[in-house]
Structure 1
Amino acid sequence: MLLWINGPFGGGKTQTAYELRRRLPGSVICDPEHIGFGLHRTLPEGLRGDFQDLPAWRRGVHEVLDLALRKHEGGPLIVPMTLVEPAYFEEIVGRLRADHGPERVRHFALLADRETVLKRLTERGLGRGLKRESFAVRMLDTCLERLNEPDFGEHIRTDRLPVPQVADRIAELSGLRLAPNTYGPLRHRLRRIRVGLSHLRFD
């Protein structure tokens, strides 16, 4: 099974993905951003726009995830990725569903109020507030508007749900059984910080 976790930048996709991986034996995270970063590094700086606009990115993500669905013998594939362009969504998620069936390719959009997402972006701004998150802020309204559309279901409101409960909800809707959550608040907080720091980029 593939679990695509969509949502606005700062919506909790990565934290939820790593919580699922922690509690789903054999599961792996397949992050399409790495394909995009690789394409960016291959291009001259002046040609680096939104890597999702590159057909090579969309073809590559579909090819890699298709291969993983066919060959991976462990647990679910967990894909945290913001994808709000309907044509691109159909090109990747739609094709995967057509090839493998909607019961094997599940999609979840994590949604929250604008103020909630801005607060989360501020918290991960490393003391620089929203200055470090200018792209995420610029895209926020577009993301929330499009992800609220029926084509981007299933929707999960996360304003008042901590990450472990978001993971519980995804597992429930997917018919998966998570290992018990044995972490206390402090351990969860430390883990969130560690996951956040591991995804910082400086290029």
Structure 2
Amino acid sequence: MLLWINGPFGGGKTQTAHEIRRRLPGSVVCDPEHPGFGLHRMLPPELRADFRDLAAWRQGVVEALDLTLAKHGGVVIAPMTVTDPGHFAETVGRLRELGHDVRHFALLAERETVLRRLHVRGFGPVLRYVAGKDAGLRRESWAVGQLDHCLERLGEPEFAEHLWTDHATVPKIADRIAVLAGLTLEPNNEGALRTRLRQAGVGLRHIRLD
């Protein structure tokens, strides 16, 4: 089974994916951003744009996930924002055509909720201390610029299953996805402090500096 976790940038996809992996033995996170940023770095700066628009990215993601799903014995989790219907058909749709059990979930939240999450993502708290309260959002200007478009498109029926996350913790979101996918997660026995530290570590490991 493939769990494709969609949502706006800053919507909690990566944290949710790693929460599921932590509590689902044998599962693995395969992040489609990795080949995307590899392609991005191959190009000279003046040619860099949204890597999701590159056919090589869409084809490569399908090939890598197809191989993993065929050879890996556990659940595969892919956290990735895809809002273009054509791109969605060429990735999620293509994997379904290849015979894979793909469960798609779109994590949604009110605009203010996502902005608040972007505000504290990565180095956000440090930037606020050093450069002012809006520094975190300035660093996330691309994600902020995409936010309204993402929320509008991902709210459409073709991007269901929709999960509203404004008042849910990451473990609770993971629990909900597991129930909908017919999976059983191990109990979440972490304390609040350990959860915050672990999630901070996940966030820091996924900071992009280019």
Range class of TM-score, shorter chain: over 0.9
The worse-fitting range, judged by mean Cα deviation, of 85-94 and 122-131 is 122-131
Counterpart residue type for residue 56 of structure 2: A
Aligned Cα root-mean-square deviation (Å): 0.9
Query: What TM-score does the superposition give when structure 1 sets the normalisation length?
Result: 0.96
State how far apart, in whole Å, the 1-side matches of 2:91 and 2:18 are. 22
Report the Cα offset of residue 129 of structure 1.
2.4
Alignment partner, residue 58 of structure 1: 58
Pick from 135, 140, 160 the counterpart of residue 153 of structure 1: 160
Match in the other structure for 2:199: 192
AA of the residue aligned to 2:177: I
The CA deviation string for residues 2-58 of structure 1, in whole angstroms up to 9 with x for no partner, is 000000000000100010000000110000111011111111111110001111001
> In 1, Cα distance between the equivalents of 2:171 and 2:98?
31
- Can you list the C-alpha shifts for 1:101-133, whole angstroms capped at 9, x where unaligned? 5xx100000000000000000111342220010
The equivalent residue for 1:40 is: 40
The one-letter code sitting in structure 2 at the alignment partner of 1:44 is P
The percent of aligned pairs where both chains have the same amino acid is 67
Distance, in Å, in 2 between the alignment partners of 1:51 and 1:64 is: 16
2:12 is the counterpart of 1:12: yes
Which residue of 1 is the match for residue 150 of structure 2?
143
* Cα offsets for 1:36-87 (capped at 9, x unmatched): 11111111111110001111001101111111111112x2100000000110
- 2:170 pairs with 155, 163, 175, which one? 163
Q: Which residue of 2 aligns with 1:28?
A: 28
* Matched positions, count: 200
Distance 1:201 1:66 in 2: 26
Unaligned runs of 5+ in 1: none
Q: 2:130 matched to which residue of 1?
A: none
Query: Normalization by structure 2: what TM-score?
Result: 0.93
**Runs of at least 5 residues in structure 2 that lack an aligned partner in the other structure:** 128-134
